[in-house]
Amino acid sequence: MIQNCTVGQGRGSPNKQFVFLCGNYTYKGPYPSNSEKPENIQNRTKYLKEWNATDILFPIDIVKDHRGSRWIVYDNLMKDLKLEEVLHRESFSNYEYYKIGSGGLPDLLEFVKRDKKYFFENYDTFGLILSYVYLYILGSGDAGLYNVLIDDHKHKMYIIDYDESRSVGNKNSQECMFYFTRAPSKDIQWFENTGYHYYNIANHLDQLKQHYPELNENFDKTIQLLDYWYNDWYRRFGSTFSIPSFGKQEIEDVTTEGEVGAEGEVRTEGEVRAEGEVRTEGNYGHMYAAHRNAKIYSGYDFGVAKSALQKYIRRGIVDKALMVATEMYRILEVLDRDGSKANALFTNLRTCRNTARF
């Protein structure tokens, strides 16, 4: 294989796997029989597919060679590109091979450094961040923009590597981009341009975790981090940041027709609002995350009330929207006897002011 295929990039050490580009497929390996990494890929892929994760290059198969070592097989994303190859000799081994010199797909870090304005104006980062948050929950390590390939002609991004491991809630959790093991530098302005996604991702995880009790602790830690850093983003950038039009497509809790918190309610992924529905501008929907686990005055979860309020406003059901808004207003009687949290709640809950039209 080393004589007949192109290597994606030179190895940094003898313990690193090769990445061979051979026709329609890419092979990563060899993994020794006692390595846990192929199983990591298999287990994480199972969850990611159940969660409909996007912007990820999933494996096709895991195969064994004549020595019993394993190789993970992927689609070759560069099979149609004209690649320039350069001869490479490893300083720590006797291996010599051709690797990609130019013409390949750039990694996302390189791409954003090249034209940050173009990227943030033309690419929706919601799916990418959600997938990286999923990988964080699953304990995947070695995460960063350098492990994402971008095909600007097809307008697609691909997370290409998630076989490494790390602990959820490690020291990197103190960073606003906690889902990365190596966050991009401040000049990239990643958090400033993507932090508005955190609230909707946290809401989505709050519902998803109910079906995965084996991961509840990791879900809870991640939701707390998203809440904390969303509030930080909102304080720093919320009043001046203009959310791109594609950024308004959200995963959203939607209740069925009926009363708040009715038995058998159905929650689905949100869609871009259709013509004729209520449209809102600005930061509507970004309600104060600290109240996520609180109960409104009548005893329903704050998150359920928030979802119902959004639905009633979109559908123009004014009486029910006012009823729920009144209940949410009265949360201050439960949580905030002295009124100290009122300003924060009212700043973020701008229902009436931001409802543009019915």
User: Does the structure show a pLDDT above 50 at 272?
Assistant: no
What are the residues facing 18 on neighbouring strands? 29
Residues in the chain: 358
User: Does the structure show a pLDDT above 60 at 219?
Assistant: yes
What are the boundaries of each domain within the chain? 6-35+58-104, 36-57+105-247, 252-358
| 300 burial via Cβ count (<10 Å: 0-12, 13-18, 19+) | middle
Give the integer Cα–Cα distance in Å for 125 and 130: 8
pLDDT band at residue 273 using 50, 70 and 90 as cut-offs: very low
Confidence (pTM):
0.73
Nearest to 312 by CA among 251, 225, 254: 254
**Strand, coil or helix: 357:** strand
Give the integer Cα–Cα distance in Å for 91 and 318: 71
Nearest to 2 by CA among 81, 79, 65, 58: 65
Give the integer Cα–Cα distance in Å for 258 and 255: 8
- In this prediction, residue 336 carries a pLDDT of 52
Give the integer Cα–Cα distance in Å for 281 and 354: 6
Nearest to 313 by CA among 300, 322, 304: 322
User: Does the structure show a pLDDT above 60 at 108?
Assistant: yes
% of the chain beyond a pLDDT of 70: 75
Phi-psi region of 329 (alpha: psi -120 to 50; beta: other; left: phi over 0): alpha
- In this prediction, residue 54 carries a pLDDT of 95
Considering only 26-30, 140-144, 205-209, 319-323, which range has the smallest mean pLDDT? Answer: 319-323
User: Does the structure show a pLDDT above 90 at 60?
Assistant: yes
Considering only 54-63, 96-105, 129-138, 160-169, which range has the smallest mean pLDDT? Answer: 160-169
Q: Which residues contact 311 (CB under 8 A, 6 or more apart)?
A: 254, 255, 317
User: Does the structure show a pLDDT above 50 at 235?
Assistant: yes
Whether the link from the prior residue into 106 is cis, omega within 30° of 0, is: no
% of the chain beyond a pLDDT of 90: 56
Neighbours of 89 (CB within 10 A): 10
- In this prediction, residue 119 carries a pLDDT of 97
The full DSSP string for 281-316 is -TTTT---GGGTT-B-TTS-BHHHHHHHHHHHHHTT
> Region 289-301: what's the mean pLDDT?
63
Cα 70 from chain centre: 29
Give the integer Cα–Cα distance in Å for 138 and 219: 9
Place of tokens 């949360």: 331
User: Does the structure show a pLDDT above 50 at 250?
Assistant: no
> Region 273-290: what's the mean pLDDT?
38
Cα 29 from chain centre: 27
Give the integer Cα–Cα distance in Å for 133 and 37: 19
Phi, psi of 326 (to 5 degrees): -65, -45
| Stronger pLDDT, 310 or 62, i.e. the higher one | 62
pLDDT band at residue 333 using 50, 70 and 90 as cut-offs: low
pLDDT band at residue 332 using 50, 70 and 90 as cut-offs: low
- In this prediction, residue 114 carries a pLDDT of 95
Place of tokens 């199972």: 46
**Strand, coil or helix: 186:** helix
